Chain A
Amino acid sequence: DIQMTQSPSSLSASVGDRVTITCRASQSISSYLNWYQQKPGRAPDLLIYAASSLQSGVPSRFSGSGSGTDFTLTISSLRPEDFATYYCQQSYSTVYTFGQGTKLEIK
């Protein structure tokens, strides 16, 4: 199975900061990489699909980049509602896998 590794596992930041989360695949997955946001007690929400495409309704401060094995999610200027846990997920193989998550906390 393809392993997905996110870094960091947790991150403290302030409102207005620029934040980057990294996701690395154990083998090349082309651009078959998606990002989700999850808030406590809620189902995940799709943010970015195909590495860099913004899901409809998602604010433009979120962006994604990368291909092959290395990917990033960037939030350009943090807002209070962005403090949540973020997951990457590969859809390259029929066995989907998620990263372990990155918890973004208020500094």
Chain B
Amino acid sequence: EVQLVESGGGLVKPGGSLRLSCAASGFTISNYNMIWVRQAPGKGLEWVSSISSSGSHIYYADSVKGRFTFSRDNAKNSLSLQMNSLRAEDMAVYYCARDAGHMDVWGKGATVTVSS
């Protein structure tokens, strides 16, 4: 079964850091670009970052540029999102998704709470 599973969410204070992971199964991530999308409580979907299949091209939303780092380990079939200098507005459910030109496989999401 094709699947993505996020982990690493939790409660963090403003200014703190958190690292999300996304483990893929049932397919090889090296064949795909991959994406993080987030959804703040009661709000719509927001694209956060994309990484090319080789990892050579990475794009970020302006709202997270300079604070978040997206990386991939094709050998381990996994992805990571390092989030630094977290703000209240970063509080959201974070989804990783497979990018086939459209997001056809999604994880269930990891919840990030930013609060003092």
Instruction: Given A43-B95, A43-B107, A43-B109, answer yes or no on A98-B45 (Cβ-Cβ < 8 Å).
Output: yes
**Bound CA span A49–B99, Å:** 12
**A-side interface mostly:** loop
Instruction: Given A44-B103, A50-B102, answer yes or no on A98-B47 (Cβ-Cβ < 8 Å).
Output: yes
Report the nearest B residue to A100, measured CB to CB. B44
Residues of chain A at interface, number, CB under 8 A? 24
Report the nearest A residue to B47, measured CB to CB. A96
B108 close to A (CB within 8 Å): yes
Q: Which residues of A contact B46 (CB under 8 A)?
A: 98
Query: Which of these binds chain B: A16-24, A68-76, A87-95?
Result: A87-95
Give the size category of B's interface with A: 20 to 34
Q: Which A47-99 residues sit within 8 Å CB-CB of chain B?
A: 49-50, 55, 87, 89, 91, 94-99
Interface centre among A46, A87, A99 (most CB of B within 10 A): A46
Q: Which residues of A contact B103 (CB under 8 A)?
A: 34, 36, 44, 46, 89
Interface centre among B45, B104, B109 (most CB of A within 10 A): B45
B35 close to A (CB within 8 Å): yes
Report the nearest B residue to A45, measured CB to CB. B106
| Shortest distance between the CB of A21 and any CB in chain B (Å) | 14
Q: A46-B104, A98-B44 are in contact. List 4 more A-B contacts (CB 8 A).
A: A38-B45, A55-B102, A89-B45, A98-B45
User: What is A's interface to B at a CB cutoff of 8 Å?
Assistant: 1, 32, 34, 36, 38, 42-46, 49-50, 55, 87, 89, 91, 94-101
